A and B are shown apart, each in its own frame.
Chain A
Amino acid sequence: MSLQITNLRKRFGETQALDGITFGVEPGQVFGFLGANGAGKTTTMRIVLDILRADSGTVTWQGRPSTDLPRRTFGYLPEERGLYPRMQVLEQLVFFAGLYGVPRKTAAAEVRGWLARFRVPEYADRRAEELSKGNQQKIQFIAAVLHDPDVLIMDEPFSALDPVNVALLKAAFLEMRERGKTLIFSTHQMETVEELCDAVAIIDAGRLVANGATADVKRASGKRVVRLGVAGDPELPWLADLDGVRVGRAGRDYSEIEVVPPRDPETILHAAIEHGERVTRFEIADPSLEQVFVDLVGRQAAPDEERTLAHLPANGRA
């Protein structure tokens, strides 16, 4: 009983945007949906929401095809942010909720509650065009949750937010999880994914390259990370003589060293002692999601560029 995405395929002209994507999201999970620009994240989300139809493949929630589900099952925060610029915040949120059948009074009370939680109660009567980008984004988040959807799908919800607002939004995420909601979001902030997500899926060029519990995905790479701190010179020149070892991050306090099998991470400790280093810190850990992502996709998960019409790919894929 979950959101099950099975073998989705979608072609736009010459481009195969999705090439057999399959994964599942358990109810109540916070799920990270990751991929580089143009990997097919937005297309997948639009198909799940039945805004777009797949060429083949199915999407089901609790066993029912998404095309048969009531629209209020899903809340959606699209990547392309937009509000009615000249409409008051309260009025347009009540309008959006009305489309899902929420009575005006209930919606208005909910809106005021959310605005207070986001510490912007005075925005109710402002016009959307008067708000900053970050604040418009909060309004859009409210638009996505106002009708109390079971599944919340968000495309880059943290982009354009300052740290204070990121914290507010994270708190809202956790509250939604407390309420038993399922949250799916894409982001390029891997630390956020590690912090919030129970499970992830990584796609590249329309194909799934990793999927599972966040910890499992990190471990599945087989790589380990050793954090080694020594007294004195932190250069560690002797590391260059070891196979299957790469310095990921060299710092004064400690260095982060990627260890590729078959090398055993503990051999690094032995080597350090052999070279007369005084070890102050030694820690074996999973690689960061960032590292796993780079290994799988071959590049970093850069933030999506500001979309202008001129820059959009001709096939509309994103």
Chain B
Amino acid sequence: MRVRVANVATIARREYLVRARTRSFKAATIFLVVAAVLVTLAPLAVRWLDRDSTARVGVHVSTTLAFDPIARLGTTVNLPATPGGRGPFTFSAVSDPTAGRDAVAKGDLSALLDVTRDPAGALAFTIVSKDGPTLRIPTLLRQGSSVLATTDRLLRGGYPADKLDALGVPPSVVVVGPTPAKPGEPPKDLAGEIAGSLTGQALVIFLFIAIVLYGQWVAMSVAEEKSSRVMEIVLNAASPFELLAGKVLGVGALGLTQYGVAIIPAGVAILLQDRIASLLLGQTAASAAPAASGLTPPLLIAFAVLFVLGFLLYAVLYAAAGSLVSRMEDINSVVAPMTMVGMGGYLVALYTSSGLIPADAGWVVVLSFVPFVSPYLMLSRFATGLAGPLDLALASALLVVAIVACLWVAARIYAAGVLTYGQKPSARALFTAAFAHRG
């Protein structure tokens, strides 16, 4: 089979230019750019909107205390997240507990902290809140309650009141993983691993969307050409293989363009997020984007390689599927099996990177080399550091083999499919037809 590269390029060029010119493509691209930037900046926007909002909590004390509970809470649980900012609460004294309860019921107060003393002399607390005991406000108020109780015990035991504030200085705390670092290696960075798995999840989602979306484009483009009957003119000039390859490359390049156009502003937004955050929220609003810190050059390369190979593999099959239908409405049903396989790999990859499925389970490791699902699984394993460059290289090599094999089969299905109108494609008919046509 002789392939004329010039024909492939001519077909790819037409595919790219004609689609790029359509109004729907331009509109979708603009929409994607705006959506990508918005999604990227959404957490920041939420934090910015939330920067001044605090929960109002009433404090009612029905006993004698040797200290000011509101001041004490202010220097312990109500510390601001950023210097110069505010703590999570605004405390106010409440004289009537019944009125305080009503205020909570009406929503004027987020919670009421009622401080009493039991017959044994110890402080007792009641937290009135609409939130369950495990939610943030009751949890923080429980911590506050133990601070108040401890303070009360210390003062009654004779601790000097002027040294109370020094008690609140936070100790040094380090969180490390269970495996000790090897000599000469920096200590394992847990935060980095978490960031890696988050980044992995994000990239797997991007990969899945791109493959399904642009794969559908390929199928639609083939079906369109077939339903407009222009196929036969083109087939006299170019072989089905050239037509197939040109289509996949043209649509693929266009998809990459759209993806690039959408992802670059989003990437810039991610990179600038820290700066934007410090401008909006103050100097030390650090680690605004944990995903960005996991986006290392090797991971980006892995993503690019798996994206291109994964897209090619699926696009070739989507094109073959598109050639089997005569009406645009039938596309979804013929591409469904491929989408299902892709979806399987995608879900396993997502569960793996979120820890629901152990990433080092034997079957996950094996699947991460199996074409069709390897783009997703290898990406997620690579992102969490469980797979190295050699694994990536092996998975890529297997993908290339699969692409060549699928091209061979797809070009034949395509050659048979594009000239058959009005037939329900049965597997057997296809198989027979595939080997009776030129490839």
B352 in contact (CB, < 8 A) = no
Q: Are A99 and B18 in contact (CB under 8 A)?
A: no
Query: Chain B interface: which of A20-28, A46-54, A110-118, A228-236?
Result: A46-54
A240 in contact (CB, < 8 A) = no
Q: Are A83 and B10 in contact (CB under 8 A)?
A: no
Q: How close is B423's CB to chain A, nearest CB, in angstroms? A: 6
Q: Are B230 and A84 in contact (CB under 8 A)?
A: yes
User: What B residues does A100 contact at CB under 8 A?
Assistant: 237
A74 and B422 in contact, given A85-B228, A87-B18 (Cβ under 8 angstroms): no
Q: Are B423 and A316 in contact (CB under 8 A)?
A: yes
A71 to B438, CA, bound (A): 14
User: What A residues does B423 contact at CB under 8 A?
Assistant: 314, 316
A241 in contact (CB, < 8 A) = no
User: What B residues does A49 contact at CB under 8 A?
Assistant: 236
B124 in contact (CB, < 8 A) = no
Q: Are B237 and A96 in contact (CB under 8 A)?
A: yes
B405 in contact (CB, < 8 A) = no
A255 in contact (CB, < 8 A) = no
Q: Which of A13, A80, A140: most chain B CB closer than 10 A?
A: A80
A316 and B327 in contact, given A50-B438, A51-B236 (Cβ under 8 angstroms): no
Q: Are A80 and B238 in contact (CB under 8 A)?
A: no
Residue in A closest to B237 when the chains form the complex, CB atoms: A99
Q: Are B422 and A314 in contact (CB under 8 A)?
A: yes
User: What A residues does B14 contact at CB under 8 A?
Assistant: 87, 95
A76 and B233 in contact, given A52-B437, A71-B238, A86-B18 (Cβ under 8 angstroms): yes
A60 to B225, CA, bound (A): 30
Q: How close is A217's CB to chain B, nearest CB, in angstroms? A: 29
Contact with A along B227-257 (1 / 0, CB 8 A): 0111111111110000000000000000000
A75 to B231, CA, bound (A): 14
Contact with A along B393-437 (1 / 0, CB 8 A): 000000000000000000000000001111100000100000011
Q: How close is B131's CB to chain A, nearest CB, in angstroms? A: 58
Main secondary structure of the interface of A (DSSP, over half): loop
Q: Are A312 and B236 in contact (CB under 8 A)?
A: no
Contact with A along B151-185 (1 / 0, CB 8 A): 00000000000000000000000000000000000
Q: Are A53 and B438 in contact (CB under 8 A)?
A: yes
Q: How close is A1's CB to chain B, nearest CB, in angstroms? A: 23
User: What B residues does A67 contact at CB under 8 A?
Assistant: 438
A74 and B230 in contact, given A52-B419, A99-B10 (Cβ under 8 angstroms): no
Q: Are B229 and A80 in contact (CB under 8 A)?
A: yes
User: What A residues does B7 contact at CB under 8 A?
Assistant: 99
A82 to B11, CA, bound (A): 17
Q: Are A316 and B11 in contact (CB under 8 A)?
A: no
User: What B residues does A212 contact at CB under 8 A?
Assistant: none
CB-contact partner of B327 in A52, A53, A309, under 8 A: A309
CB-contact partner of B230 in A72, A82, A309, under 8 A: A82
User: What B residues does A53 contact at CB under 8 A?
Assistant: 436-438
User: What B residues does A144 contact at CB under 8 A?
Assistant: 233
Contact with B along A96-139 (1 / 0, CB 8 A): 10111100000000000000000000000000000000000000
Q: Are A143 and B438 in contact (CB under 8 A)?
A: no
Q: Are B228 and A84 in contact (CB under 8 A)?
A: yes
User: What A residues does B231 contact at CB under 8 A?
Assistant: 82
CB-contact partner of A309 in B228, B233, B421, B438, under 8 A: B421
A13 to B416, CA, bound (A): 14
Q: How close is A152's CB to chain B, nearest CB, in angstroms? A: 11
A33 to B171, CA, bound (A): 96
CB-contact partner of A83 in B228, B419, B420, B438, under 8 A: B228
B380 in contact (CB, < 8 A) = no
B6 in contact (CB, < 8 A) = yes
Q: How close is A308's CB to chain B, nearest CB, in angstroms? A: 9
A246 in contact (CB, < 8 A) = no
Residue in A closest to B6 when the chains form the complex, CB atoms: A101
Q: Are B422 and A309 in contact (CB under 8 A)?
A: yes
Q: Are B233 and A82 in contact (CB under 8 A)?
A: yes
B326 in contact (CB, < 8 A) = yes
Would you list which residues of chain B between 203 and 219 have a CB under 8 Å from chain A? none
CB-contact partner of B18 in A84, A96, A101, A316, under 8 A: A84
Residue in B closest to A71 when the chains form the complex, CB atoms: B237
CB-contact partner of B232 in A51, A99, A314, under 8 A: A51
A71 and B236 in contact, given A53-B436, A312-B422, A316-B420 (Cβ under 8 angstroms): yes
CB-contact partner of B422 in A55, A84, A310, under 8 A: A310
Would you list which residues of chain B between 6 and 23 have a CB under 8 Å from chain A? 6-7, 10-11, 14, 18, 22
Q: Which of B18, B233, B421: most chain A CB closer than 10 A?
A: B233
A275 in contact (CB, < 8 A) = no
A243 to B234, CA, bound (A): 56
User: What B residues does A72 contact at CB under 8 A?
Assistant: 237
Q: How close is A317's CB to chain B, nearest CB, in angstroms? A: 11
Q: Are A95 and B238 in contact (CB under 8 A)?
A: no
Contact with A along B312-349 (1 / 0, CB 8 A): 00000000000000110000000000000000000000
Taking A99-B237, A99-B238 as known contacts, 7 extra A-B pairs with beta carbons closer than 8 A to each other, sorted by chain A number, are A53-B438, A83-B230, A95-B10, A99-B7, A100-B237, A144-B233, A312-B421
Please name the 8 residue pairs, one residue from A and one from B, whose CB atoms are nearest each other, closest first: A82-B229, A99-B237, A82-B230, A78-B232, A76-B236, A312-B422, A309-B422, A80-B229
A-B contact pairs, 11 of them (CB 8 A): A51-B236, A72-B237, A78-B229, A78-B236, A82-B229, A87-B14, A99-B11, A99-B234, A140-B233, A310-B422, A314-B422
